[in-house]
Amino acid sequence: MLNLNERMVNLGTQRSVIRELFEYGKKKAAQIGAENVFDFSIGNPSVPAPASVNQTAIEIIREMDPVILHGYTSAQGDAGVRKMIADAVNGRFRTDYTADNFYISTGAAAALCCCFHGLCNRGDEVIIFAPYFPEYTVFVEGAGAKPVIVAADTQAFQIDFTALEQALSVRTKAVIVNSPNNPSGAVYAAETVQKLAALLEQKSAEYGHTIFLVSDEPYREIVFSGTQVPFLPDYYRNTLVSYSWSKSLSLPGERMGYVLIPSAVDDFAQVYAAIAGAGRSLGYVNAPGLFQRVCAACANETADLSVYETNKNLLYHSLREMGYHVVEPGGTFYMFPRSLEADDAAFAERAKAHNLLIVPGIGFGCPGHVRISYCVPTERIEKSLPAFEALAKEYLQG
């Protein structure tokens, strides 16, 4: 008789709603043609990586000793790579980080898991603001901690500080911030971050232990109309930054990212050791060597992100004209309109009849909404608009 870890069995047999919809879209495309399926399910960038990425990879392969290139790096990432990343971050944010402030990870997911496993003991709590990336709860629970969800402010998708204060407790070990936010596209202003930092400083002193801020930043560069994204370590010293090049360089399949552990955090050496120890425990040591070097060399570049603003403007204004309620995103490539019936899962299912694949908001901790991932060719959005309009008419004129 097998005696398996039931939690792992459940995670392995129940794909996320996003992945299920993505797989459904592929099957549907095989039946009726990809051009007739309006798949807005998954955040897979449609713009190619900058040409420099392939050029850099080719140059490294040609010029570097293959034994070194394809050999192990240091567990936390090649020292030269980490220095290049530190230089890029310092140049952008006027900081003074060194290679020893960075732990290279296999994407932002691994970075977050290292943070939660490194920081949390069983019974600790991690606060998550809804709407949130669904895997946050998986990562937190995997670390033995308890996710505590702060309900969404659905008027603007900003932090509800009254609800946050009620959620904070002596068991709070960390607070996750995702700005620009998946799925809403909301960006927290500097004043919001200052207020959050002051509250966490106050509560850390009150509880007699550090509350960490874990800033998940894969969409840092995707912002619109001059929107500024505050760099959280400038506001709160006990901030750990989880970053990925998946969106900025359009490299989601390469799974490259890092944890930034600023020297200013309490007991820096211990915290860095905890992150490194978590990486060791989880088997995340030595991220892929070739793309460590490629991403570090291209760290000051991005793919052509302008298409996302074009797509946002087209979709946002069109949906509003059709009668949908939408909060305009400040960044990312996601939109989070209200569903046109209270049951967002039923609404998303009904959208399938129009070959519209949109993700129910309940999985993001915010029922009554749906996520539209518009990191797609602009032509797909243009072709989908009659389908969105027909769906709206079923509700608004029915």
Both tokens of 286, joined, read: 């030595």
Domain ranges of the chain: 13-42+304-397, 52-298
DSSP 301-319: ----THHHHHHHHHHHHHH
Full-model pTM: 0.94
pLDDT at position 183 over 80: yes
- Residue 398's pLDDT band, with cuts at 50, 70 and 90, is low
Check if CATH label 3.40.640.10 holds for domain 52-298: yes
**pLDDT value of residue 263:** 98
Arithmetic mean of pLDDT, 189-200? 97
The pLDDT > 90 percentage for the chain reads 88
Alpha helices in the chain (DSSP H): 6-13, 17-32, 51-63, 66-69, 79-93, 107-119, 135-142, 161-167, 190-207, 268-282, 289-297, 306-322, 344-352, 378-396
- Per-residue pLDDT tens over the stretch 81-123: 999 999 999 999 999 999 999 999 999 999 999 999 999 999 9
- Residue 315's pLDDT band, with cuts at 50, 70 and 90, is very high
**pLDDT value of residue 338:** 97
Nearest alpha carbon to residue 302 among 374, 257, 250: 250
Arithmetic mean of pLDDT, 214-228? 95
- Residue 363's pLDDT band, with cuts at 50, 70 and 90, is very high
- Residue 34's pLDDT band, with cuts at 50, 70 and 90, is confident
pLDDT at position 223 over 70: yes
Arithmetic mean of pLDDT, 230-257? 97
**pLDDT value of residue 345:** 95
**pLDDT value of residue 369:** 98
The pLDDT > 70 percentage for the chain reads 99
pLDDT at position 171 over 70: yes
Arithmetic mean of pLDDT, 22-37? 80
- Residue 163's pLDDT band, with cuts at 50, 70 and 90, is very high
Class for domain 13-42+304-397, per CATH? alpha beta
pLDDT at position 310 over 90: yes
**pLDDT value of residue 147:** 98
The whole-angstrom separation of Cα 251 and Cα 247 is: 7
DSSP 171: T
Q: Where is mean pLDDT largest: 2-6, 37-41, 120-124?
A: 120-124
Least confident of 34-43, 113-122, 282-291: 34-43
- In the block, residue with structure tokens 């009726």: 32
- Residue 19's pLDDT band, with cuts at 50, 70 and 90, is confident
Least confident of 34-48, 131-145, 345-359: 34-48
Instruction: Report in angstroms the alpha-carbon separations of 290 from 199, 228, 254, 311, 360.
Output: 42, 32, 10, 33, 37
Instruction: Report in angstroms the alpha-carbon separations of 86 from 259, 260, 265, 386.
Output: 11, 9, 17, 47
Arithmetic mean of pLDDT, 13-26? 78
